[in-house]
Amino acid sequence: MIISVPRETHRHEHRVGLSPFAVSRLIKQGHTVLIEREAGKGAHFTDQVYQKVGGQIVYSSDEVYKRAQLVCRVGTISAEELELLSPDTTICAFHHLAVASKEMIRQLQELRTTLIGYEIVQDEKKRLPILLPFSEMAGHMSVHVAAGYLQTEMGGRGILMGNVPGVPPPTVLILGAGTVGSMAACQALASGAHVIVFDASLPKLRHLNNRLSGRAVTMVPTAARLAQYSAIADVLIGAVLIPGGRAPYLITEEMVRAMKPGSVILDIAIDQGGCVETSRPTTLDQPTFKMHDVIHFCVPNMTANVARTASRALANEVLPFIQNLANLGVDGALWEDVGLGRGVYLYRGEMVNEGIGKAMNIPVKNLRDLLPGDGVS
């Protein structure tokens, strides 16, 4: 199979779709891997390193898309790149179709594209293995980022993210007890903060409570509780995840208005629309804005700022799936691996994701009904 790794075109996206290690494994299995020139530059993977393991460097986006049977990238394809895409191509990436335009989806359908979203691929236990390391990194980073913006010179409340004897610690409010929220809670507690975690799932709260030996306050959210505790928070971390769907607004503008001046919101759910009503996407070069005197950090691809670590973590998780797609063919891999099949948004232009289809008012078909009976076309 011909596999292509394009250079990411979204602003400040420094990660790369496949690491040199992943490319070497695919080459050894007899596949051709095309790397667009300087695709790995942001992660400090040189073209020479890719060539050394057998990758072919190509010098135009047109070639990297026209020749590809399978495209491996990080972020969703841009409108400009869509013009270069050949019909019947399979694209693997973090597509986040819940916040995509209906027009882009229509164009992908016309090209009979198969779209696999890393953010909704599942393993045999219905976990999200590809999303997991990015959630861990985002949770880890969120506390460090918040600590910086709490400082006086950054416009924050002038509070140390730490425990100073005789001084009250900062209060960190976390929405969501999943991977991001759990990691953020661990980091915040390690820094000496007072931590409060909300989640609608009692099993998740119980698991987190046991993991943290009861050191964090855990609660099921209600509007009244969210209003009460957001008003005392120095840091609010939004870590809500609806797999494949848009995140709900849990924090209203009225709640933000009632927060302390100079407090910090990190809306990690912004790549799925955000869970704070006042949030809007920001970038790594302009990561924050203030509204109602509250600092908002809403960078969808915050792990792009640790591009080498993130690219290696991505490659570790996606490689088994990419190998199956390449070795068995797309149909064969989707037939054999039900979890990979759950990661499909579009199959040869047909919408097969019920949540997105319903939200976009697009007819939905069952993937298993569309696949050849033995997975081989």
207 is catalytic: no
- Integer Cα distance of 238 and 351 in angstroms: 30
Of 208, 187, 185, the closest CA to residue 195 belongs to 185
CB atoms within 10 A of CB 152: 10
CA atoms within 13 A on the CB side of 257: 3
Is 31 designated active site? Answer: no
d(CA 27, CA 93): 20
Among 271, 296, 331, 337, the one annotated catalytic = 271
CA gap 150, 153 in Å, rounded: 9
Other beta carbons within 10 Å of 78: 15
How does DSSP assign 132-157, residue by residue?
HHHHHHHHHHHHHHHHHHTSGGGTS-
Two tokens at 371? 């696949």
How far does CA 262 lie from the centroid of its chain?
27
129 neighbors 123 (Cβ within 8 angstroms): yes
Q: Which of 14, 31, 96, 194 is catalytic?
A: 96
Three-state SS at 3: strand
Distance, first Cα to last Cα, the chain = 15
- Looking at the DSSP bridge assignments, the partners of residue 53 are none
Closest alpha carbon to 157 in 29, 25, 20, 260: 260
- Give the residue numbers annotated as catalytic, written as ranges: 96, 271
